[in-house]
Amino acid sequence: MNPILSVEGVTAGYGRVTVLHDISLEAGRFGNVGLFGPNGHGKTTLLRAISGLLQPKSGRILFDGQDIVGHSARAIVGAGLIHVPQGNRLFPDLSIADCMALGAYSPRARPHEAENREKVIKLFPKLAERWRQRVRTLSGGERQMVSIGTALMSHPRLLILDEPTLGLAPKIKDELCASVMDISRGGVPLIVVEQDIEFLLELTQQLYLVNHGAVATEIKPGESLDHGEIMSMYFGH
Amino acid sequence: MSALAEILFGGLFQGSLYAMMAVGLALVWTTIGVFNFSHGVFMMLGAYIAWQLVELGLPAAVAFPIAVVVMAGVGWILQASVVRPLIGRPNIVLVVVITTLAAGSLIENGALTIWGPRSKQIPALIAGNTTIGGVGVSLHQIAIIVITPLILAALWMFLNRTRLGLALRAVAQNEDASHLVGLNVTALYGLAFAIAASLAGLAGIFMGGYRFMSPVMGSDPLLKALIVVVFGGISSISGPIFAAYLIGFFEAACSYYFGLYWTPALLFGVLILTLMVRPEGIFASRSRGLA
Ligand SMILES: Nc1ncnc2c1ncn2[C@@H]1O[C@H](COP(=O)(O)OP(=O)(O)O)[C@@H](O)[C@H]1O
Ligand SMILES: [Mg+2]
């Protein structure tokens, strides 16, 4: 299978600070992709570059074979590459219903709005109970559900999740992990940044350790490591 | 009886004009996070364009809507030229104060060059006068009192009941998240400015129908709109609307009991006291957002 996304030699950063140094990786060849690594080493920055929120200084990002560097975030959403950002800040004063309507804003997603809404409600029945409630009044777990639900409303061809379980209580976290597994089983390929290695090992087929803005190690299917080995890679640097 | 009628009428009338101006200022602040100091100039320009069209022989019923639509274009262009290029820079709030002040002063002097300093007047919305509760009032002012809430209600419906309005409210709350659902953030910024400029232009047409116009006619209303917005809280558009009417009534009562001379001093006194107690404004909630 061809990779749905390939990042080729991307360098990017903020102002004069370079965060990503000639980073390359591929997604969709073997299934879901997991990114992990210490905080502050550029995982979020990479995702922002992929979704068009940040312009790389150099390199190519191919989505479905087409270079999307320089495309607007709107065009990238329009092509079906959907990014759920870290920290579920969302739209604090909009209702869940409003968020779902926004998710279906792009012309590509609009025709599937009703069908996708059904899917989201089936996946997160809790949201239906609070449909008219403002996002700011929801719990962290519920906000994360709204974030992911909004992304599903965008009819993703590739879904990128940035630390979806960050800061959630263990029970809520398990529920959310199960939902993410469901999404994957529904046929949407995923790129997931996570600190929880167990969850990544269960969810993904290919792992990248991101360190100092570059790929330090790639773990392909068949080379599956155990938790201990990964932890030593993590802290060995 | 006539005292009450006078205060009530004066308050509704001034409140309408303030609301019309303040709502545009608040719309731009909530969506883009900048203060538009050329907002008063929008008001002036709307009035002068209407005057020019009437002068060219168009009936008011045609000239006024055209002027309002032209102002939408002016707002869009101003946004694209002196606001959009600066978005994302540090200190954008201060920088945009300067660029919009500069653009405003340019337009003001342009108007002076084109139309000259002589005072002008445009036709009233409805000619004639009447008496209500012993107070003589013009039908023009009554028309303004009736039309303004309708327009504000329409704006509220647009923001709260349409998909495009939803998009504007979203941009006001989280720009990155707006990009990530595929909103055209730049166009929405332009739209916010276009709506604000249209409303200001309409306020100018209202004003030019009962008072003489001059190229600087927008500066006092801009100041009042700023007071309204600070007083009502800049986090929404409903706050400034309530505040506009409140201040309208306050001014009407003050000038009735203490005279026009004392009114600004009293108004600022109340404003300062309010901000000491509630720095975020009386009707404000904690965050930026349109509702
Ligand atoms: N908006 C920003 N402006 C400047 N520097 C930033 C910004 N966001 C992140 N950084 C810096 O970029 C580096 C990488 O951050 P990030 O991509 O968020 O890492 P991660 O997601 O792996 O924790 C950090 O050193 C961080 O301080
Ligand atoms: Mg991160």
Let me know if residue B27 belongs to a domain. yes
Let me know if residue B202 belongs to a domain. yes
Mind listing the pLDDT tens digit for each residue in B17-40?
999 999 999 999 888 889 999 999
- What's the rounded mean pLDDT across residues B202-230? 92
Query: What confidence score (pLDDT) does residue A139 get?
Result: 94
> Looking at domain A5-235, does it have CATH number 3.40.50.880?
no
- What's the rounded mean pLDDT across residues A97-109? 97
Let me know if residue B131 belongs to a domain. yes
Mind listing the pLDDT tens digit for each residue in A185-194?
999 999 999 9
Report which of A87, A82, A39 is spatially closest to residue A213, judged by C-alpha positions.
A39
Residues whose Cβ atom is located within 5 A of ion ligand 2: A 43-44, 86
**Phi, psi at B270, each rounded to 5°:** -65, -40
SS3 breakdown of chain A: % helix, strand, coil, rounded to 5?
A: 40, 25, 35
Query: What confidence score (pLDDT) does residue A99 get?
Result: 97
Best of A21, A45, A83, A160 for a ligand 1 pocket test (most atoms within 8 Å of beta carbon): A45
Calculate the average pLDDT of chain B.
91
The Cβ of residue B156 has, within 10 Å, a number of other Cβ atoms equal to: 17
- Percent of chain B scoring above 90 in pLDDT: 70
| A141 contacts A168 by C-beta, under 8 angstroms | yes
- Percent of chain B scoring above 70 in pLDDT: 96
Query: What confidence score (pLDDT) does residue A100 get?
Result: 98
Mind listing the pLDDT tens digit for each residue in B11-20?
999 999 999 9
Give the distance from residue A220's alpha carbon to the nearest chain B alpha carbon, in angstroms: 30
Question: A10: pLDDT confidence band, cut at 50, 70 and 90?
Answer: very high
How many domains, chain B? 1
Q: Is B22 exposed, middle or buried (0-12, 13-18, 19+ CB in 10 A)?
A: buried
Q: Is the pLDDT of residue B291 over 70?
A: no
Question: B290: pLDDT confidence band, cut at 50, 70 and 90?
Answer: low
A97 and B CB contact within 8 Å: no
Question: A19: pLDDT confidence band, cut at 50, 70 and 90?
Answer: very high
B90 backbone φψ class: left, alpha, beta (φ>0; ψ -120 to 50): beta
Question: B121: pLDDT confidence band, cut at 50, 70 and 90?
Answer: very high
User: What domain range is B148 assigned to?
Assistant: 17-216
Is the Cα dihedral A208, A212, A213, A214 positive or negative?
Answer: negative
What is d(CA B8, CA B250) in angstroms, rounded to the nearest whole number? 10
Let me know if residue B273 belongs to a domain. no
Residue contact A102–B289, C-beta within 8 A: no
Question: B238: pLDDT confidence band, cut at 50, 70 and 90?
Answer: confident
Give the distance from residue A227's alpha carbon to the nearest chain B alpha carbon, in angstroms: 33
Q: Is the pLDDT of residue A121 over 90?
A: yes
Domain boundaries, chain A: 5-235
Query: What confidence score (pLDDT) does residue A180 get?
Result: 97
Residue contact B179–A90, C-beta within 8 A: no
Let me know if residue B193 belongs to a domain. yes
A227 and B CB contact within 8 Å: no
Query: What confidence score (pLDDT) does residue B287 get?
Result: 54
**Size (chain A), residues:** 237
Residue with tokens 């990479």: A46
Among A134-143, B143-152, B171-180, B280-289, the least confident range: B280-289
Query: What confidence score (pLDDT) does residue B288 get?
Result: 53
Query: What confidence score (pLDDT) does residue B2 get?
Result: 81
